[in-house]
Amino acid sequence: MLVEEIMSKPTVKLSPSDLIEEALALLNEHTIRHIPIVDESDQVVGILSDRDVRDATPSILEPDQNYQILKHDVSSIMTSPVITVHPLDFIEDIASIFYDHEIACVPVTKNNQLVGIVTEKDLLYRLIQLTGIHEQSSQIEIKVPNKVGVLPHVTRIVSERNTNISSVYVYPYQDSYTEKIIVLRIQTMNPMPLIDELKQHGYEVIWPNIPGLSK
């Protein structure tokens, strides 16, 4: 899945010379957490978060606060430089950027101009969709040897039972280089016959681990 499929557009934006009070109003009006800051050519020069604004905004609970800070430019509190991504980047790469840099959003640029924004919420929602968990289904986790042909064999067993697969993904088993976990989400609320058959073919089903089925 590509970034252009999940990004928000058009996006709210500000220039470096706009005031902090304007940023506060936009965050509240649009119920958003981040605002890209762009120059006159629409190139991203910074990013402003609700936390940046909140930290700079005087508390109504404390007397003698300096409310003049709201008249300062957003450039005084924005984060710069900014990591950006391209609309044709893969969302898996974006997830890695979020994790490695501990950030919660990335502006999306094309030809160096802002075209959208992706937040961690956008990314998480799409990753949930990719797992198929939003559909009525059952999940099966199978420990398999890490070798060619295993995944087609497992999916063929599922297909021969006329069961549709909502999603499939593979991840390493602990720190092993010789074993993998195949996670299947199948469109049935009774996975027990399929689990039994997988075990009869010699596969170790680690979830759900139902006592009494064939080993």
Same domain, residue pair 156 and 104: no
Q: Does residue 215 lie within any of the structural domains?
A: no
Q: Does residue 69 lie within any of the structural domains?
A: yes
Q: What range defines the domain where residue 150 resides? A: 135-207
Last residue of a domain, one of 101, 128, 155: 128
- What's the CA gap between 41 and 189, in Å, rounded? 54
Q: Does residue 199 lie within any of the structural domains?
A: yes
Q: pLDDT at position 61, please?
A: 44
Same domain, residue pair 93 and 160: no
- What's the CA gap between 173 and 143, in Å, rounded? 7
Tell me which residues of the chain have a pLDDT lower than 70: 58-67, 210-215
* Structure letter (DSSP) for residue 31: T
Last residue of a domain, one of 112, 128, 144: 128
Q: pLDDT at position 67, please?
A: 66
Condensed to tens digits (0 to 9), the pLDDT of residues 160-176 reads 999 999 999 999 998 88
Last residue of a domain, one of 65, 93, 128: 128
**Residue 72: which CATH number?**
3.10.580.10
Question: What Cα–Cα distance (Å) separates residue 96 from each residue in 90, 93, 100, 102, 122?
Answer: 10, 5, 6, 10, 14
Condensed to tens digits (0 to 9), the pLDDT of residues 54-88 reads 888 766 545 555 568 889 999 999 999 999 999 99
Tokens at 99, concatenated: 């994790």
Single pTM value for the model: 0.78
- What's the CA gap between 197 and 91, in Å, rounded? 35
Convert 32-57 to b/e letters by CB count within 10 Å (16 or more is b): bbbbbbbeeeeebbbbbbbebbeebb
